[in-house]
Amino acid sequence: AQSVTQLDSQVPVFEEAPVELRCNYSSSVSVYLFWYVQYPNQGLQLLLKYLSGSTLVESINGFEAEFNKSQTSFHLRKPSVHISDTAEYFCAVSERGYQKVTFGTGTKLQVIP
C-alpha cells in the first residue's frame, strides 16, 4: 500500500527567504507524485506533478520539486517566497494504473512579512 509523510505540519518563513516543504512516500511500484495547494476555504489546486521523464518539475509561480527515487522523496522548494504563497500544501502519491490518490497530512506555509 502507498503512503505519504509530510513531517512538518507548519513552516514559518520570512518573505523573500527560501523554503523547502518535505515529502516522503512509500510504495512498492512505480508512482505518480503531486503537490497541491489549498488557500483558506477553497478546494485543492494542482501545483505540479511528476508523471515521468525529468525528475525536476516546475510550476508557473516559481515552485519546483524533485523526484528522488532512491530517497523516496518529492520535496517542494521555492527560492524566494511571497506573502501570497501563504497556504496549505499537500503532497500526494498515486500508483500507476491505480485509481486512488493518497494525500499527506499537509504543511501550512506561513510567510511572515
Partner 1 sequence: SQTIHQWPATLVQPVGSPLSLECTVEGTSNPNLYWYRQAAGRGLQLLFYSVGIGQISSEVPQNLSASRPQDRQFILSSKKLLLSDSGFYLCAWSQTGMQFFGPGTRLTVL
**Footprint on this chain of partner 1 (rule: CB under 8 A):** 32, 34, 36, 41-46, 49, 51, 90, 92, 94, 96, 98-101, 103-106
Q: Compare residues 28 and 42 and give the one whose CB is closer to partner 1.
A: 42
Separation CA 113–CA 86 (nearest Å): 11
Q: Compare residues 15 and 110 and give the one whose CB is closer to partner 1.
A: 110
**Torsion over CA: 108, 24, 26, 48 (sign):** positive
The least CB distance from residue 15 to partner 1, in Å, is 25
The least CB distance from residue 38 to partner 1, in Å, is 8
At 101, is the secondary structure helix, strand, or coil? Answer: strand
Cβ burial, residue 113 (10 Å; 0-12/13-18/19+): exposed
Q: Compare residues 52 and 113 and give the one whose CB is closer to partner 1.
A: 52
